Structure 1
Amino acid sequence: MKTINFYKLFRAHLFLLSAVAIVLTFESCAELDEDPAVSRLAPGSYSNQAELELGVTGIYSQLRNASQWSTFFVSGWSGDDITTHKASNKADFREFDQRSVSPENARVVNNWRDIYAMVRAANSVLENAKDLELPDQDAQNRLLGEVYFLRGTMFFHLTRVHGRIPLPLTAEPELDISRSSQVEVYTQIESDLLQAENLLPEIYPGVLEGAPRPNSGTARAMLARLYLDWGGFPAKDASKYAMAASSAKQVMDNSAAHGFALVEDLEDLWKLENRFNSEGVWTIAYCVDCGLHNRKFGKLGNPSDLFGWQETFAEIRFFEDFPEGPRKEATYRTEHDWENFTDQTNPVFKKIVGPEGDIPLSEFNTNRNDLFMRYAEVLLIYAEASGRSGNVTSEAWEALNMIRRRAEGLPFGTPDPGVDVTSGDIAELAFTERKWEFAGEWIRWNDLVRMERVEQALSNRDPQVSMNDAGELLNVSNAIIGSLGTDNYFAPIPQNEIRLNPNLGD
């Protein structure tokens, strides 16, 4: 394998050898405020567990530095659920919102840089640990399992943005790496996640709820997500649907051992006090008091009327179509008179700004964790993939119905004939359920891509019933100006990377 460009890789490699890294262990609440000055990425071959631990926690530091910004989820603005401000300094998000993404898009450039920095760090740790034999073999296995998990998950995260990407697998820079085929990318992600699953324990010792350090169930859940994507566009390997269902079912069958479970009340997921919870299959954790801020929530989701920075709004048409009930109330701040906001008339996501009184209006440095993957998604993958693979079971219907019941404010484990479904196209029912369940969580776009439904979803976003006090029907904030065809599903490779290495343009 060959690398992206010599200068950037060499510079980053030197950084990894010497830079101070904020350790993000999350093995207890107390360790969140560890002194950054004592946490360094260990240079050269490792000789003890402490050096390996520093190498691993250095990757987490890079992850937190990247994921604290909305840039990390930039492609999410392409979905029909999320929009951004129609002017101001949100041009990079608007390009995704309007499906006209430039190869010079600064968010794309930064995201590419940050993710490959993590990949390079992971490669360096794996190489430095190659000959390491620790007395505590369990500790060595779980630390290396984390590295494989993080590398595979970052490849997965980036391929959802760009499609075909390069796959650097060594710390040694190479000058002329090319993009791999989509199947090669998926195969490498699968390999990393399988290795992670093999090395990680059932549950990581000493961590809080929500798997802030991944366990074997986290890796298997991510495989279920991978196989679901693999079955759809662009690879379209329908055999992967059975693997997605099997992987999700394996996580479900062992959910107690992994510490995974749905929370009773959906709104509890967005409260600061519940930022570590059982529904997190993998959680990226933050801590303001430790200098580890999350800067995607709070103020960034509010309009100027509420002293907000107007970055992440809800689409009007999606809000109009959203079924009424407790789940809608948990998703949006419905008490706002958003139709008459003075600057931009769009609904406000409760998932972004928090429930009333939870995050101060003036705050954008928050303790909110990122639920990168929720147990609800495992259940819905099982239901959808079971349908698409032609192997529908009563357990698949129950997985779907658990989400439907909670959406209505009912106990999710108690059958309810008024809510439950047991017939019809379970794959499509589960796909639609994902639409509502994960609104505002930056993943709707990925569903539209894999099922080739971008045009269907984005060609008619005009509000139908929402009016201001003057009786005027509201307009869509950022109208589509780019293609909705499959040739425009993935963001371009950053232009500067292609200038430095023309092979990336192939």
Structure 2
Amino acid sequence: MQHIIKTVRELLLGAMVVAAGSGCSKFLDETDPSNFTMDNYFTKPAQAQSAVNAIYQSLISIPTGDYGGAPWMMLEFPTGLANTEYGQSVDNLNIRNLVNTAENNHGIQKWTSSYRGIGNANLAIEKIPGINMDEATKNKLLGEAHFLRAYFYFDLVRIFGKIPLITGTVTSTSPEIYSPAAAEEDVYKQIVADLTAAEQSGLPWTDAGGRATMGAVKSLLASVYLTMAGYPLQKGSEYFQLAAAKANEVITSGKFDLFTSYDDLHSLDKENTGEHIFMVQFAASNWTTSMDFQKFILPYTKNISLLNNRTGAIYASDEFVASFETGDKRAKDRQFFYNTYTLTTDRNTTIALGGNYLYKFFDVQANTVTGTSGLNFPLIRYAEVLLIYAEAANEAGGPTAAAYEAVNKIRRRAELTELSGLTQGAFREAVWRERYHELCYENKVWFDMVRLRKVLNITNGTFDAFEGHKFTYGPVLSKRELLFPIPTVEINNNSNIDQNPGY
């Protein structure tokens, strides 16, 4: 576990250097704080702010990486719904073909960056209470730290299963250095405790600068409860009720709404507002990082963008796009996907691209005018909250009028007929299907597959059992694919961790 075995000073230095040097996160604009010692740091309000800012940096790794891809993609290829033009990316291809290994760089990056974020959160939560500063500001910073720690652990426990649960700072002599893997239920208890603490911290409902908010906290907690209701914990009805209640708090707050146009999903002017509850923040000033996820969604050889880095690393399968209902606006060109675009040399000439690329993340201004992107990456949208409510309310007591309205808001925007008169079972599958289509390529579908043990059969619209489901291009899901392999380097460094079955 070399990536989380750090002395307190090493964690501090890593946190402060990242906070000072990054131009990626729009609210991270720090003076150089590197001239410190353990005796003089964590004494001033600005240092509390820097410590929390450093936690956000680990979010940046979710959609970014080298030409081969990013951790975001590792959760899209095992759904069977994504394709790639970038044949040199063994990491992507192995996951897509269900022959993943513990040496996969995406898994290593996900594990490393998440535990770095957790380490920085632990440090902030431990040290900020001792700083003499405005109590309301202090509580909000602690709320952000608790939220972010919960976010990282929620990803890790769903991806890797039993993982080390570390909630304090560690030194070279700490027994936590070689922590055994905690039971999944214990990790979830910590996630709920962190989010409950964040709820009580006085965070605002929204924040135009992109910091964690009450809306993000309650939305994530609703998702956590929904997951706990299903596999692997199978807590059932009580947790469906908790999920519905928490999602309803977000809905009835009146602070969020669906955008009227899908173009707003990838508009710089709409970031951190309206439908966008929580996002990874990027700034155009640092193009080498902020361009990373743009390059992945651009066709490799079609010359439609001012950006030089175009890899075609991920695009939607034709079969998945065809699975949308007839007339669904989301499946039309330049809504959620794009299959035509204009040439950089002649914007009056439109060409066919030969595939369905991901328009919901496409920075129009960067690709056609500026050549530099600061577009944020979405992590939590209001559409997801509506669908959490619809699913959870139905499981708790059948399809209520409020549950229908939650899913029908999304269907109306897609120009589809509203759902009505369905049995509980039919409504259940209608909402599952809606999640596939509305939240596609946002790192939601694979998590749904695992918590439900069900997979949408995109050729006939029904749901198959997870084990035995066959992708349209051949590979068949097995029990092994319910978890990702723990990176080999972590297994080698900590004998108290066992590899997941089948790897």
**Partner amino acid for 1:350?**
Y
Q: Does 1:302 align with 2:309?
A: no
Give the aligned partner of residue 32 of structure 2.
37
SS at match of 1:372: strand
Counterparts of 1:40 and 1:83, CA distance in 2: 47
**Partner amino acid for 1:315?**
S
> How far off is 1:486 after superposition?
2.8
Q: How does 1:341-380 map to 2 (within 5 A)?
A: 346-354=355-363, 357-360=364-367, 366-380=373-387
Give the aligned partner of residue 280 of structure 1.
276
Give the aligned partner of residue 228 of structure 2.
230
Q: Does 1:46 align with 2:46?
A: no
Counterparts of 2:22 and 2:198, CA distance in 1: 18
> How far off is 1:34 after superposition?
2.9
The gaps in structure 1 that reach 5 residues or longer are 410-417, 463-475
Contact 2:128 2:138 in 1 (8 A): no
More strand by share: 2
Q: How does 1:184-333 map to 2 (within 5 A)?
A: 184-203=186-205, 207-208=207-208, 212-238=210-236, 239-256=238-255, 260-289=256-285, 293-307=289-303, 308-323=310-325, 324-329=327-332, 330-333=335-338
Contact 1:384 1:428 in 2 (8 A): no
Counterparts of 2:109 and 2:216, CA distance in 1: 27
Counterparts of 1:406 and 1:41, CA distance in 2: 53
Give the aligned partner of residue 100 of structure 1.
99
SS at match of 1:262: coil
Give the aligned partner of residue 307 of structure 2.
none
Taking a change above 3 Å as real, the CA distance of residues 243 and 10 of structure 1, as seen in their structure-2 partners, is same
SS at match of 1:333: strand
Contact 1:82 1:313 in 2 (8 A): yes
SS at match of 1:334: strand
Counterparts of 1:16 and 1:422, CA distance in 2: 57
**Partner amino acid for 2:429?**
E
From 134, 139, 142, give the equivalent of 1:141: 139
Taking a change above 3 Å as real, the CA distance of residues 180 and 362 of structure 1, as seen in their structure-2 partners, is farther
Give the aligned partner of residue 183 of structure 2.
181
Contact 1:78 1:445 in 2 (8 A): yes
Deviates more, 1:366-375 or 1:74-83: 74-83
Deviates more, 1:170-179 or 1:441-450: 170-179
Counterparts of 2:481 and 2:149, CA distance in 1: 26
Deviation track 1:444-463 (CA, whole Å, cap 9, x = no partner) reads 1111111112465784443x
SS at match of 1:297: helix
SS at match of 1:371: strand
Q: How does 1:327-476 map to 2 (within 5 A)?
A: 327-329=330-332, 330-335=335-340, 346-354=355-363, 357-360=364-367, 366-408=373-415, 418-424=417-423, 425-454=426-455, 456=465, 459-462=469-472, 476=473
Give the aligned partner of residue 413 of structure 1.
none
Kindly, what percent of the aligned residue pairs are identical? 24
SS at match of 1:395: helix
Counterparts of 1:445 and 1:461, CA distance in 2: 13
Taking a change above 3 Å as real, the CA distance of residues 170 and 436 of structure 1, as seen in their structure-2 partners, is same
Give the aligned partner of residue 471 of structure 1.
none
Counterparts of 2:21 and 2:210, CA distance in 1: 10
Counterparts of 2:203 and 2:465, CA distance in 1: 42
Give the aligned partner of residue 18 of structure 2.
21
Give the aligned partner of residue 121 of structure 1.
120
> How far off is 1:301 after superposition?
1.5
**Partner amino acid for 2:479?**
T
> How far off is 1:300 after superposition?
1.6
Contact 1:56 1:125 in 2 (8 A): yes
Deviation track 1:120-158 (CA, whole Å, cap 9, x = no partner) reads 111111111243342x21101100000000000010112
Deviation track 1:339-359 (CA, whole Å, cap 9, x = no partner) reads xx99x95421212445xx444
**Partner amino acid for 2:79?**
G
**What TM-score do you get using the length of structure 2 for normalisation?**
0.83
Counterparts of 2:95 and 2:245, CA distance in 1: 34
- State the number of aligned residues: 459
Q: CA RMSD in A?
A: 3.1
Counterparts of 1:246 and 1:168, CA distance in 2: 29
Contact 1:42 1:55 in 2 (8 A): no
Deviation track 1:243-286 (CA, whole Å, cap 9, x = no partner) reads 11111011111132xxx221111232123443343111112211
Contact 1:287 1:366 in 2 (8 A): yes
Contact 1:232 1:450 in 2 (8 A): yes
